[in-house]
Amino acid sequence: MSRTRVVAPGPVALEGRAWSGCAPVSSVEVSTDGGTTWRAAELAADQGHRWAWRRWSHTWSATPGDHVLSTRAADEAGNTQPLEQPWNRGGFANNLVQRVRVFCPDPADTG
């Protein structure tokens, strides 16, 4: 079992939902290089309720190789998901940015 995903080169639709718990979600960012750079995702219309999940989407142009995809949300109160989880004895508030490995094979590599 592995969380590693495999995608073909070219446009890949990434989508999900974000929720804060403190204030309405104001932005979602996507990284395709392990968190070195971030790009804004497109947010769906606000559902009008401060506790509603916020749908987001982003089109990634996959290139051959290994990649680490991540997303992080921010809310109107200035809270952003942490890249590293602060430790606490009970394991509470586990909301760090998740990382998913993605492999994109090179179509020229037939070996």
Report the SS3 class of residue 27: strand
Q: Please give the Cα distance from 79 to 105 (Å, whole number).
A: 37
**Per-residue pLDDT for 37 more than 70?**
yes
Cα angle vertex 67, ends 98, 39, to 5°? 70
**Per-residue pLDDT for 3 more than 90?**
no
CATH architecture of 5-84+93-103: Sandwich (2.60)
Beta-bridged to residue 39, according to DSSP, are: 30
Global pTM reads 0.86
**Per-residue pLDDT for 60 more than 80?**
yes
